[in-house]
Structure 1
Amino acid sequence: MSEKTLQNQNIQAAEVKQKLQGSLIIERGKTEKFDDLPEKSIALDGYVQGPGFDLEKSRFSFDHHDRVNRMITRATCQQILDALLLGFDPAEHNVYVNDIDGDTVLSVWLLRHPEKATDPKVRMLVESVGGVDSHGPAYTSLDPKLAETFFKGVMQPEGFSRKNKQYAQIDLNELLEKCIKNLDDFMEGKFEYKPEEDKRSFELYKEGSGWVMAQSNDFVFDLLYKVGHTKAVAFQQQSDGSYAYTIAKKSELVNNFSVGPASKEGTILYELNKIEPGWGGGSTIGGAPRNPDGSRSRLAPEEVFGIIEEVITR
C-alpha cells in the first residue's frame, strides 16, 4: 500500500470519526432552555437547567443541578454512562457545555468513547468521580485513590487555572482537550500522578446564623466540613474585581439552609438571582454567575452575606 493511499485512508477515517462525534460547542457561562435546543443535541451539566429528553427530535439534557433532588440524582457523567449502557447512541449529536470541570470532562470523554462504557476500569472511575461530584467532599468515594488521581492529576490544568485566577480568560476548548489528553493517557496506563502535600487553607470572613462565609483561593469545602461547618459560602476575588462564590451544605439532610435551585422561591439562589441574574445550582451546592466575558458576581461579600442571612432567618 502506498504512503499516499494510507494518508487518504487516515483522512477518511478521521472524517468519519468527526461525523460520528458531531461537534463540541463550549459557550462559557451560557444557559439555554431545553425547548430551544436544536435537533440532535446533548446538553451537559447545566447548559440546560435540569434534565430532559426529547426522543422525537433527539435532544437530551443530562444535568443534576436544577429541578432535581440531589440526594437521589446521579452526576452527569454517571447519567451518560447509564444511558450508554442502556443503548443511547450519541453519534452525530452536537454536545453543548458551558463550564469545564471533572464531570463535564468525563462526560465528554464517554461520549467520544461509547464503546468503553462496559470497561470495568471506566465504570469504577465514573462511580468514584460521580459520587463526589454529586454529593460533594463529604461523600466517601468508591475508590478514594482513583478519585484523587482524577481530580488532582487528570484535572490538574483546570485546578491550576482556577487557583491562579486564570480560568476566567483561558481558552476553554484548549483546557478541555488538555484534560481529555490526560484522561486518555490515564486510561492507557501512561499517566503518572504523585500526591502533593495539601497546603490549602481558608480564612473565616464572617459567621452567620448557623453558617459561615470563608475566603480561599482553593476549593475548601472538605476542610470546612471536617472542622464542623456544615453550611458555608466560600469566595475568591477574581483579577477583574468580580467575585467567585460557592454556596453549599454538607448534604440534603442539613436543615435551615435552602441553597437552591434558583427556580425555587425562597431559596438562597432564588433571592440572589433576583438581584443579579445568573446564579445557579442545585439543592446542596450552587454559585455565582459565569458570564461570557469570564467575570463572576459583582456583588460584594457583605451584600451576599446580608442576603443569605435574611433568607435563612425569615
Structure 2
Amino acid sequence: MIGRGGLARAREWTIGSPARRTAARGETAVPVQLGRYRIKQGVRGAVLTCVEAPTMRVRVQHGLCVTATAARSAAAGSIFLDGAARGAPFLDSKREVYNLDHHEGCVRPFTLATCEQAVVLIRTGLDLRKRDWTVYANDADLDTVLAIWVLLNHIRLNDGRGATRARVMPLLRLQGVVDALGLEQQDLCGLPPEVLTETQTWIERLRTPELAAKGRGRWQDLDLLEHTADRLRAIDRLIYPPKQFDDLEEIDELVRVPIANGRVAIICRSEVGIYEVERQLRRLHGRRLAVIVLQQRTSVYTLRQVDAYLPATLASVYERLNLIDPAAGGHRSANRWGGSTEIGGSPRRSGTRVTPQQIASVCQRAYGRPRLLERLSRIGVAALGSAAIMLAALAPLLMPGAPGNLGPQPAVQFSMLLAAFGGALFLTRGFRAPGLYGLRRPARLDWLSVVPVAVLGALAGGVWIPAVHLPGPATALPAVPDLLALLTLPLAAEVIFRGLVQGSLVMSFAIQSCGGPWSVSAPTIVSAGLYALWGAVLGSPSFALAPALLPDATPSLPLLGAFVFGAGSAMARERSESIGASILLHWICVATVLLARAWISP
C-alpha cells in the first residue's frame, strides 16, 4: 500500500514485449500497437489508450494500492478500480475523483461489482469527454478489464440506439454476480437460459489466458497492460459486428490544450480531410472541441475554428504564428499563415517550420488572456536580460585597474562590446523567430510618421551618442574607431531594447499591426522605459559614455527625451515589422543631433 507519493512511483514501469501466440486458445494475439487500443510510452510511464476515448489513460501495475487519504486527495480526473485504492468506494463529483470498488467499507453482497459500477457511472450522467482522466488498476482480472472496457467505450455505450448496451449488459451482469457472490449464485443475474449459457461461454473464453497464466505461476510476471489490451480486443470481437469500425477514421492526436471557456484546441494528424476529422472529433470531444489544427504533411497544416463563440478568431492565431514561424514572410509576402476567420492554413509555398507544440501554445495565447503574473514575469525577465547585457559591456570599465571613465577610448570599447553581446543574442533568437524579433525587411513606410516625434526626443537628449572625438573645422571626418562607435552604439541600443526586450513581450501583450490603427502598446512603453533608464546611467557623470546634447539642461529633460524617442522607435518597429526601421531611425536622429550640436557650438 502506498500513500500520497505513491501515484508517481506507480508510473515506473515499461512496455513488455509484443503480443505472442496464445497456445491456450489457439489464436494469434494482435500486436498492441494496432487496433483501437494502443499502449503508449510517455515520460511518466506506459499507458493504455483507445482511439475512441482520447481523454482516457489507463495505468495498470501489479500491487498498486494507494491509501484512502491519498485517493481522496488525488488529482482531479482520477478513477481507481477494484482495490487500487484502499477504503470504501466513493464518488467525489466536485473534485472529479472516483473509487469504483466492492472490497472494503461496504457490504459486499449488496454492492455492485466494479464493472457494473463503471456502467452506472457513465449511464447516470458522467461525461468523460469534458476533461482528461487517468484510470488506475492493480490487476487485470475480468471484472477490472470489463470496467476498463466500459470506460473506454463510454461513447458507444451512451449511444441513443442502445445496441451496444443490449449486447454487453448480460456480460457485465453475469460477471458482476459471479465476482461479488460466486458461481453458485449465477441465477440471480436474471438472464434467460439461452442468454445465460452464451454469456457463460463468453466469460470462459475471456478468462482462459488469465487462468492459464495463473496456473503456470506466471501471472505476477505478466505485462498487465499488454494482457488488458488483448482482452479488450477480445471483448470487442464479442460485442461489435465485424465491420463496426470500418468507418472509423484514423486520427492521431498530437497535442490537446485547453483554451477559453472550457474548450480545447486539438493538433492532430490524419489522412482524411478537415471536415471528416471535424465530424469524428465532435463525436469524441463533444462541445469541448473549439479549434482543429490538422497536419496533412510534416510542414502543411489546415486550421479550423468550429466554435463561433470564442473570444477571438483564427486571425489572432495567424498573426502570432507569422511572428514565430521562420518560414513565414513579412506583411507583403504571400507565404504566410492566413485564411478566413473560420478556416485557413500554413504558408503555401514553403510550408511551416513550427512544431505542433508551438502551434498549441499559440492557440492558448490567441484565445486566452495572459495572467497578470505571467505578464509581470515577462517584464521582469526582459528587464533582467537587458541589464545583464549592459553590465557585461560595462564590466571592463568597472574592473579594478581599468582606465579612467572619461575620454574616447572607453566609449569606443563599450560601444563595440555592447553591439557584440546584444547582436549575438539577437541573431540567435531572431533566426528562430524572425517576426517576433523584427529580423525582416520593413513592410511599409507609414512608420516614417513617427520621425518628427523621435527627432524632438533626440534633440532633448534621447539618443545614444558615444563620447568620442567628433570632427571639427580641421578634420572633415572622425577617426575610424570613433565612426564605428557612432554607428554601433545606436545599433546596439535598438537591437537590445527594440529587438530583444520588445520581442520578448510581444506574445504576452497586444501590439500594433502593420497598416492597422495607431496605438501605444505595453511592449512599447516597457522598452522605452528601460531604454531611458539605461540612457540616464550612460550619461551620468560616473560613466559619461553617452552625454546629452544639452549638458546644462535639467536631468529630467534627457530622461523624458529618451522615453519619447524610445517610444517612437518602438512604434516604428511595430509598424514596419522590422528592427531595421528602428536602427535607421536612430541613425537619422543621431545625425540630426550632431548637425544641431555643430550649429549651436561657438
Q: TM-score, normalised by structure 2?
A: 0.28
Matched, 1:81 2:119: yes
The match for 1:72 among 97, 110, 113 is: 110
RMSD: 2.4
User: Any conservation in 2 of the 1:154–1:186 contact (CA below 8 Å)?
Assistant: no
**Deviation sequence 1:6-65 (CA, Å, 0-9, x none):** xxxx9xxx9994773321111211111222422101101111122012222210000011
- Distance verdict in 2 for CA 1:18–1:159, change over 3 Å: same
Aligned partner letter, 1:69: V
User: Any conservation in 1 of the 2:50–2:56 contact (CA below 8 Å)?
Assistant: no
- Distance verdict in 2 for CA 1:96–1:154, change over 3 Å: same
User: Any conservation in 1 of the 2:90–2:100 contact (CA below 8 Å)?
Assistant: yes
More helix by share: 2
**Deviation sequence 1:145-184 (CA, Å, 0-9, x none):** 2342232102222121111111011111111111111111
Matched, 1:45 2:82: yes
Distance 2:143 2:50 in 1: 27
- Higher-Rg structure is 2
**What does residue 56 of structure 1 align with?**
94
Aligned partner letter, 1:110: V
The match for 1:32 among 66, 70, 78 is: 66
Distance 2:196 2:227 in 1: 25
Partner-residue secondary structure (3-state), 1:139? helix
- Distance verdict in 2 for CA 1:178–1:138, change over 3 Å: same
**What does residue 22 of structure 2 align with?**
none
Aligned partner letter, 1:76: T
The match for 1:161 among 207, 210, 213 is: 213
Alignment of 1:234-273 (within 5 A): none
List runs of 5+ in structure 2 lacking aligned partners.
1-35, 41-48, 243-602
**Deviation sequence 1:250-295 (CA, Å, 0-9, x none):** xxxxxxxxxxxxxxxxxxxxxxxxxxxxxxxxxxxxxxxxxxxxxx
**What does residue 139 of structure 2 align with?**
99
**What does residue 264 of structure 1 align with?**
none
- Distance verdict in 2 for CA 1:48–1:146, change over 3 Å: farther
User: Any conservation in 2 of the 1:125–1:146 contact (CA below 8 Å)?
Assistant: no
Distance 1:46 1:93 in 2: 18
Aligned partner letter, 1:94: T
User: Any conservation in 1 of the 2:90–2:99 contact (CA below 8 Å)?
Assistant: yes
Alignment of 1:1-314 (within 5 A): 17=51, 20-33=54-67, 34-49=71-86, 50-91=88-129, 92-117=132-157, 118=162, 119-141=165-187, 142=191, 143-188=195-240
Q: Identity across aligned pairs (percent)?
A: 25
**What does residue 277 of structure 1 align with?**
none
- Distance verdict in 2 for CA 1:68–1:146, change over 3 Å: farther
Aligned partner letter, 1:21: T
Aligned partner letter, 1:27: Q
- Distance verdict in 2 for CA 1:19–1:113, change over 3 Å: closer
Distance 2:135 2:113 in 1: 17
List runs of 5+ in structure 1 lacking aligned partners.
1-9, 191-314
User: Any conservation in 2 of the 1:23–1:93 contact (CA below 8 Å)?
Assistant: yes
- Distance verdict in 2 for CA 1:40–1:183, change over 3 Å: same
- Tell me how far 1:113 sits from its aligned partner: 0.6
Partner-residue secondary structure (3-state), 1:57? coil
User: Any conservation in 2 of the 1:129–1:150 contact (CA below 8 Å)?
Assistant: no
**What does residue 377 of structure 2 align with?**
none
- Tell me how far 1:124 sits from its aligned partner: 1.9
Aligned partner letter, 1:35: R
**What does residue 248 of structure 1 align with?**
none
Number of positions where the alignment pairs a residue of Structure 1 with one of Structure 2: 178
**Deviation sequence 1:184-230 (CA, Å, 0-9, x none):** 1111256xxxxxxxxxxxxxxxxxxxxxxxxxxxxxxxxxxxxxxxx
User: Any conservation in 2 of the 1:116–1:122 contact (CA below 8 Å)?
Assistant: no
**What does residue 274 of structure 2 align with?**
none
Distance 2:140 2:209 in 1: 10
Aligned partner letter, 1:109: W
Partner-residue secondary structure (3-state), 2:146? helix
Distance 2:55 2:118 in 1: 15
- Distance verdict in 2 for CA 1:55–1:17, change over 3 Å: same
Distance 1:125 1:140 in 2: 12
Q: Which moved more, 1:140-149 or 1:62-71?
A: 140-149
Partner-residue secondary structure (3-state), 1:32? coil
Distance 1:145 1:161 in 2: 25
Distance 1:87 1:129 in 2: 23
Higher RCO structure (Cα 8 Å, ≥6 apart): 1
- Distance verdict in 2 for CA 1:135–1:178, change over 3 Å: same
Q: TM-score, normalised by structure 1?
A: 0.52
